[in-house]
Amino acid sequence: MRKKDNPNWFSIGMDAWALAAESNMVIAMRIGALAFGGPSAVKEAERMVAEKVAANLSLGADLLTGKLGTSPEQIVSGSIAHYSRRVTANRRRLGW
């Protein structure tokens, strides 16, 4: 998944589906990590919240500066790509 210059709604839908599937994997891995409790669970919870705030602020800045594009398709595709990079990084960090 990456931002495309001229995305179509079908490819956007497929990218959104892939992001949802990968996000569910990350959620399951995080729930498992949090279930064990202890200092590592606290660290993971803090990291999770900080990452979400940073990702949302970054996306907002990209939207306001026009980095996502000008058409609805470019904006949606760029938003999916934005979150996908972060979800993929978390999946890899969490070990899958």
Tokens 């070990």 correspond to 95
Please work out, in degrees rounded to the nearest 5, the angle formed at the alpha carbon of residue 73 by the alpha carbons of 71 and 79: 105
Residue type present at position 64:
L
Q: What is the pLDDT of residue 6?
A: 81
* Average pLDDT of adjacent 10-residue blocks, the chain of 96 residues: 75 97 96 94 96 97 96 97 97 90
Ranges of each domain in the chain = 32-94
Would you say 28 and 34 are in contact if contact means Cβ atoms under 8 Å apart? no
Cα distance between residue 36 and residue 39, in whole Å: 10
Q: What is the pLDDT of residue 8?
A: 95
DSSP state of 68: T
